[in-house]
Amino acid sequence: MSIFGTMKTAVSGMNAQANRLGTVGDNIANSSTVGYKRSSTAFSTLVLPSTQGSYSSGGVETNVRYSIAEQGGIQYTTSSTDLAIQGEGFFIVSDPNGTPYLTRAGAFVKDATGFLKNTAGFNLMGYPYGTNPPAAVVNGFNGLEEININDFGMVSSPSTKGSFPANLDKGAAVVPLANRPGANAATAVITNKSSLTAYDHAGAKVLYDFYYTKATASPDTWEVSVYRQDQATNGGFPYTATAPKVLVQQTVTLAFDPNTNKLTAASPKAITFTDPNDGATPAQAIAIDLSDMTQFATAFTPGKGIIDGNAPSPITDVEIGGDGLVTAVYQDGGRRPIYQVALATVPSIDKLLPQNGNVYLPTNDSGVVTIGFPQAGAFGQIYSGALESSNVDIASELTEMIESQRVYTANSKVFQTGSDLMDVLINLKR
């Protein structure tokens, strides 16, 4: 057995415990860092060849392991842009150079330019939400954009669809064809009337008048006619439009089942009309669902009118759902989906490469990145107004610190003993 070998083994042991203390120090320092994942030190032996009568001491080497896949606790906050993931997945963020990274640190705040930026300065990325929901690019970061809320300030969207149910009085009088609102004559008989507000392409409010008139008693049929209110003559019939304006007029006949007093299977379930008067191309078409219309023997009762579209209004808040849908909330109460947050994962999560700012890069050992949406497949759920705390257990770290200190001291004693033996050998020559 070599005395020098013994001393080198002791040095190896001290270096190993120093590395262990390093990971413990990092863990304790980041115990309050949002989304931080603890690191630990694993030991393995170094064995040197020995002969039958002589033992060659080896040593110990260390490998740093990261508990990235281990879930941290969820803590709720008062900010709607704070995000936490319960389950598998990472937020996709980018640095100022546009390089994508993965992170669990979801403390995002809107900066002066409208980007959702976390405390390390990385911008949250997502897919822009168009007419249809976006589709994820499973095996790459293509299509992802830095989410910018300011891009959607002061925008409007035209109305395209809505719902406007009502109960029509079964005992109402039948009106002759020439006197029904659909004839658009000054002699029109108004049985029931209600109005609905919609929005054109410029975000201007447009009122539409709906007329309900009984056409026949057997079978039970009603005519529903719609006109643009600002085209009325002194608030009534006839409705007219002076060129280049176009008259908005549409009539549909509804048929009711006398047994259920609901629309028959063959009856139209909606009324669709076109309004080209805002000059947009193509012309605005609005479909109003009438499938919930009824005909009971009681007074005319209009239901709650619902229609999409909104007037120009600034964004006052942002809502992020568990499925990652980012919805802009406007001052007038309107809502509009603007982005879809995507999540990413890899086959071997603990093999990701940590970088400054509590972010990770994929490696050959971690495997290929897979991208998807929250609550889809193996991906977890996003919690808005919450943060994932670090997965560091202070009690465990302090225990490891004490153990590492004792082992380091023991290794130093081995080194000191080897040094004393070397002094004995040198003194023998004297």
Q: Tell me, what CATH number does 253's domain have?
A: 2.60.98.20
Whether the Cβ atoms of residue 313 and residue 330 lie closer than 8 Å to each other: yes
**Per-residue pLDDT averaged across 180-195, rounded?**
96
Q: Do 198 and 254 belong together in one domain?
A: yes
Q: Do 278 and 174 belong together in one domain?
A: yes
Q: Do 413 and 378 belong together in one domain?
A: no
Give yes or no for residue 16 having a pLDDT over 80. yes
**Per-residue pLDDT averaged across 155-176, rounded?**
93
Which one is predicted more confidently, 286 or 417?
Answer: 286
Give yes or no for residue 145 having a pLDDT over 60. yes
Q: Residue 297 has what pLDDT?
A: 95
Q: Do 256 and 298 belong together in one domain?
A: yes
> How would residue 152 be classed by pLDDT, with cut points 50, 70 and 90?
confident
Q: Residue 306 has what pLDDT?
A: 93
Instruction: Give, in order, the Cα–Cα distances in Å from 262 to each of 119, 165, 215, 333.
Output: 57, 11, 16, 33
Q: Residue 47 has what pLDDT?
A: 84
Residue 127 forms beta bridges with which residues? Answer: 340
Q: Residue 1 has what pLDDT?
A: 52
Give yes or no for residue 430 having a pLDDT over 70. no
Q: Do 137 and 168 belong together in one domain?
A: no
> How would residue 391 be classed by pLDDT, with cut points 50, 70 and 90?
very high
Tell me which of 123-127, 129-133, 218-222 is least confident.
129-133
Q: Do 31 and 135 belong together in one domain?
A: no
Instruction: Give, in order, the Cα–Cα distances in Å from 104 to each of 110, 120, 196.
Output: 18, 12, 46
Q: Do 12 and 24 belong together in one domain?
A: yes
**The last residue of a domain, from among 286, 312, 338:** 312
Q: Do 50 and 188 belong together in one domain?
A: no
Whether the Cβ atoms of residue 277 and residue 207 lie closer than 8 Å to each other: no
**Per-residue pLDDT averaged across 366-384, rounded?**
93
How high does pLDDT run on average in the chain? Answer: 92
What's the domain count of the chain?
A: 3
Which one is predicted more confidently, 313 or 16?
Answer: 16
**Per-residue pLDDT averaged across 339-352, rounded?**
95
**The last residue of a domain, from among 250, 283, 312:** 312
Give yes or no for residue 395 having a pLDDT over 90. yes
CA 278 – CA 379 distance, rounded (Å) = 45
Instruction: Give the number of other CB atoms < 10 A from CB of residue 394.
Output: 10
Q: Do 262 and 166 belong together in one domain?
A: yes
Range of the domain at 46: 3-67+391-429
Q: Residue 135 has what pLDDT?
A: 82
pLDDT digits (tens, 9 = 90+) for 210-257: 999 999 998 999 999 999 999 999 999 999 999 999 999 999 999 999
Q: Residue 154 has what pLDDT?
A: 72
Supply the pTM of this predicted model.
Answer: 0.68
Q: Do 197 and 259 belong together in one domain?
A: yes
**Per-residue pLDDT averaged across 281-289, rounded?**
96
Q: Do 149 and 127 belong together in one domain?
A: yes
Which one is predicted more confidently, 151 or 185?
Answer: 185
